[in-house]
Structure 1
Amino acid sequence: MRLTTSNHFAPIAAGLLAASIVTGGANAQSLGGFPIHEPGAPSSSSGSTSGGSSKKGPMQIIVDANGPGPYKTISQAIDDVAEGGVIYVMHGRYNESITLDKSIFIQGDRGPGSGVEISAPMNAPCLRFSPEQGTTHAVVANVQFKARINSSANACIDVDQGVFTLKESDVLGSGIRPAVRISGGTVMLEKNRISAGSEGVFVAQPHSLSQSFIIDNKILQNKVGVDIASGSRADVVIAGNEIFDNLDSGVKSSGYGAAKLIGNKIRNNQGAGVILDKYAELSLIRYNEIAQNQGDGVAIPFGANGAIEDNDIVGNEGLSIFIREGLEPKVTNNFIENNGGDRPCSKRDRRKGRCK
């Protein structure tokens, strides 16, 4: 019986920043209904002291590289905006590297035009989130990030700690470093397009209380789509994504934390669809379509426990599921067909649910 898998997976954890929007004073200038503020001028609005900076500033700022307003760079607006404030970025190209260390919401323009493009200088990240306090929460939406080719920066998007949400954005890596690097905190990546990195998303969160949620993204044309490093202890949820056309494996997990792959399409990668490697534990691979990869559908070369169940594993050039002798993860109720390396299904394999 063939499984029917859903192409979409409802977000498991989304908790976006709840920011109070406080209007400016009676004499404040405005643009498109948003108050604007002269850089360095006093403001009647003030930010809270909860996330790092206690500097007073406007709660709303508009940045327009090509417009009449005072703010031409995003970095200048980040310096001035109050804690919990909103920066609205008009369409245009911004040649800068952004550092966030406070709770703010950066919203790219959704109107007509070419969109918002942030192009990083050579050897600098496009955006780095590195707050002093772990409760600081920044949200960035509808922005295109571009790293310089062969840049030696750690990543285009580099998250050190805190709570960070990136959604509906495009991240283009340098080709030799990760497009998105997560080394701490709690991170939500939702509905983004992530490409051209050594890894599309590289997770290396050493703290067991850290979490990453990678939901409904398109992750393509990297070397590895998603790579959970061997030193990582975070729980990682990878759900509802399309992970395809990567030059090596689609997903590789070597971390100690729980890795949950649910409802993804993992296809046309030049290595295995999924590798559970080295220290991978508590893995759950369920309701995925793992198809047309040049290696194995799922490969477990060293050691893993967990479950591989209710997946479609079809048309891969290697084995449907490679498990080194002596390893016994739970493998049940998968639809397996036309994988190049599979031998005819034995009674033992059929009894264990490895094929039908």
Structure 2
Amino acid sequence: MRQVVTALTLLTGIGAFAAQATAQAPAEFDPNDFGKIVIQPRQVAGGGGGSDSGGFVLEQAFGDYQNEPIIEYGENSPAVRLGRPIGRLDMLFNNGKTGFCTAFIVDDQHILTNHHCIPGMDGDPSGQVSGVQAAQFVAGFIKPGRAEGTDRYTVSPQIVETNRELDYTVLRVFGNPSTKYGKLELAMADPEDAEFLWIIGHPQGQAQHISREGCAAATPAISEEGKLVHSCDTLGGNSGSPVIRLSDKRVIGLHHAGDNRTGFNMAIPMTRILPQSKVLKAAAGGAVVAAAPPPVVPKSTPVATPPPSTTNACSALWNEAKAVGCAGYEAYVAECGNHTFASMARRVIERECSIPTAAPPETSDGTAITVKANGGGDYFEIADAVSAAADGARIEVHPGRYTKGIDVTRPIEIIGVGAMKDIVLAVKEDNLIEWTASSGRVSGLTMIQEGGQYFGIHLAGGSMILEDNDISSKGLGVIAVRGNEGGTIRRNTIHDGAQGGIFLFEKGKATIEDNDIFGHRLAAIEVKDGAAPIVRGNSLYDGEGSGIFVNEGGTGRYENNTVYNNALAGIEVKGGKDPLITSNIVRNGLQGGILVSEKSTARIESNTIYANAFAGLEIKTGANPVVWNNTMRDGHQSAVYIHEGGKGVLEENIIHNNAFYGISVRDPNSRPIIRENKIFDNVYEAIRVRLSAAGTYENNDLSGNKAGAFLIEEDAGDVLRMGNKE
């Protein structure tokens, strides 16, 4: 008879755990095996549970191990179908070590696993630096020892969310595996005492297994320390597995550890994780209330078909709204006015999207305040009208030249009436506008900062809409955004800055869209110090610096911009923190297309990069971007140049017709992962590796290059090649 600890033998007094227990690293595999499906683990995570660990281990089995290969139930079985969103998370760390755990799909962009699976981030005070060079999510691995039918999806090394106490981490996965494999539903509910459970995962990195025999919650199911206690068999690699209740096949816990002193395993209840996670809360439809159990209906009673739920549709629309902007938020509120995030969307619309259609009365006769430089209005200077205006005032500025700097501390509108070129605010030795008001709008003016150590527009607090203006500066940057609550900068012509165009720092916030930005001495847009703008639909060109410069500590989203003819890189990321650079055109740069350096992480996807004087993409000095689905062509040198310790995962890119190599890698510690790219019609070899550089090069189509597929120099380091078409 199998000797196993079950839920029926776990009693109330088992709630004391070792608070001093230390989570250990995930199980390891040979670094040369990274990218493969079938691997051999080096060790089991969790160690031996010696005296230092207080008996705490990451995985354990009870009696005779009964964690079974899931394929034994048949490819079309309910267990296999339920397990489709569950996969193996493979990690290659910066220190050369490796690890794997289990993870599962929660929405179209994210997977969930344990915090302790990525221990590198414990040394980072922000909790966001993973220490991972590369990661992949292996889905569909259900047949032991066989890789057919599996898929691999690139995972961003940058942490989206993490919590050490609750031992969960949310990661970004590319390629939307949910379209093929689905996602697991999360339940804001605890299991009943002794309720039967399933755990599905990848023990020891092998094909998917299920623990179901003797797998149940304890009595009580939740310990005094808030852990879900269970008797399901697990081993190293099961960390991050979902704990699924049989009644509705929903996830009620995240498996993470065991205690061999008391003989049971533990999970973190979703009732503790969901309230702390914005991503998971949204994936669950925004709700954090327990679902009622389905009613028991007598067989003789007809069952009415419930109306279709709008929860998932509204959640999807909310995600689209965040990407689209004002029009998306308006559509979301119109369709889902009672959904979880409706109030938030209304605040966004009010703050950043609304344009008042009628002016509030501000003078004794109920008309707007008028400013006319040559007389005939309420004021001669805009600054004087602003000083006298009440909250909500509309100030109409008529053609003329105005020379006083404006300080806006109350919500107002400043609107040009007439031809923009004839309404000129020209200020020397002061900011054109210093803005700290909570809201407001400036539109229809020509604004020239004429010199001195001042900005053109200084958005130093609150929020504003700056639209349909012509702005330049002979002093500092044309627009500076810092420490504010929000802002919208759209449809402006921003040009000829004696320094930069738009400078965001000190956590500045803005949506920058549909502007024409050119002719600056420094970057057209520079972002640093925690600033995180949304930059989309702009034209950035003819600058003496970069088009977009994500500097130290900067992040944000950069999409659908056209960047061309700049003296430095079209887009540069230097010490940046995982900006998303997507669907841009980066062309005809006097140097390179995109440059990533200084240990930056970045997501570079679906861009078209061509006709640049240097490399289309340059990665150096420890930078580690994820580069997916880009087209890099017609460059005057190599399409991709990786050197000075550059890393990165380059996957599913199309690279062709470049004057040198498709990809050139050199220097010690340069070790990219180059996978499933199509590289053709380049003048030299598809890939060149030299000067102690290494890397993994697999499943690429390298046919059709004039000098061949590979040039691996004698002084190259360890180069792993497999599955390439040459």
Q: TM bucket by the smaller chain?
A: 0.7 to 0.9
- Cα deviation per residue 1:232-288 (whole Å; 9 max; x = unaligned)? 21221110000000011111101434321100000000111010002x012111110
Q: Secondary structure at the match of 1:199?
A: coil
Matched, 1:124 2:430: yes
1:161 is matched with which residue?
461
Alignment CA distance shift 1:80-1:324 (3 Å): same
Q: Contact 1:288/1:310 (CA < 8 Å) preserved in 2?
A: yes
**The structure with more helix, counted as a fraction of residues:** 2
Alignment CA distance shift 1:22-1:159 (3 Å): closer
Q: Contact 2:369/2:378 (CA < 8 Å) preserved in 1?
A: no
Q: Contact 1:16/1:165 (CA < 8 Å) preserved in 2?
A: no
Aligned length in residues: 303
Q: Secondary structure at the match of 1:211?
A: coil
Q: Give the counterpart of 1:61 among 349, 353, 369.
A: 369
- Cα deviation per residue 1:135-185 (whole Å; 9 max; x = unaligned)? x1121011111011xx223311111111021100011111x5101111221
Matched, 1:181 2:480: yes
Task: Map 1:93-132 onto structure 2 (within 5 A).
Answer: 93-109=401-417, 111=418, 114-120=421-427, 122-131=428-437
Structure 1: 5+ residue stretches without partners: 1-8, 29-33, 36-59
2:675 is matched with which residue?
351
Task: Map 1:176-325 onto structure 2 (within 5 A).
Answer: 176-185=475-484, 186-197=486-497, 198-206=499-507, 210-223=508-521, 224-229=523-528, 232-278=529-575, 280-324=576-620
1:52 is matched with which residue?
none
Give distance in 1, aligned partners of 2:636 and 2:420: 47
Matched, 1:15 2:353: yes
Following superposition, the deviation at residue 220 of structure 1 comes to: 0.3
- Cα deviation per residue 1:182-219 (whole Å; 9 max; x = unaligned)? 1221121101011121110011124xxx5221111011
Q: Contact 1:317/1:340 (CA < 8 Å) preserved in 2?
A: yes
TM normalised by structure 2 equals: 0.40
Taking only aligned residues, the RMSD between alpha carbons, in angstroms, comes to 2.5
Give distance in 1, aligned partners of 2:532 and 2:525: 14
Which stretch has the larger CA shift, 344-353 or 196-205?
A: 344-353
Alignment CA distance shift 1:202-1:256 (3 Å): same
2:288 is matched with which residue?
none
Give distance in 1, aligned partners of 2:578 and 2:678: 19
Task: Map 1:35-46 onto structure 2 (within 5 A).
Answer: 35=367
What amino acid is the match of 2:558? L
Matched, 1:334 2:630: yes
- Cα deviation per residue 1:2-49 (whole Å; 9 max; x = unaligned)? xxxxxxx96557333658744478x73xxxxx72xxxxxxxxxxxxxx
Q: Contact 1:332/1:353 (CA < 8 Å) preserved in 2?
A: no
Q: Secondary structure at the match of 2:598?
A: coil
Give distance in 2, aligned partners of 1:352 and 1:10: 30
Give distance in 2, aligned partners of 1:180 and 1:276: 20
TM normalised by structure 1 equals: 0.78
Q: Contact 1:331/1:353 (CA < 8 Å) preserved in 2?
A: no
Q: Contact 1:119/1:147 (CA < 8 Å) preserved in 2?
A: yes
Alignment CA distance shift 1:102-1:355 (3 Å): farther
Structure 2: 5+ residue stretches without partners: 1-322, 327-347, 639-659, 665-671, 681-726
Q: Contact 1:63/1:72 (CA < 8 Å) preserved in 2?
A: yes
What amino acid is the match of 2:506? Q
Following superposition, the deviation at residue 303 of structure 1 comes to: 1.9
What amino acid is the match of 1:256? G
Alignment CA distance shift 1:326-1:179 (3 Å): closer
Q: Secondary structure at the match of 2:558?
A: strand
Q: Contact 1:333/1:354 (CA < 8 Å) preserved in 2?
A: no
Q: Contact 2:420/2:446 (CA < 8 Å) preserved in 1?
A: no
Alignment CA distance shift 1:266-1:64 (3 Å): same
Matched, 1:152 2:446: no
Q: Contact 2:362/2:389 (CA < 8 Å) preserved in 1?
A: no
Report the structure number with the largest CA radius of gyration: 2
Give distance in 2, aligned partners of 1:254 and 1:194: 20
Give distance in 2, aligned partners of 1:354 and 1:77: 62
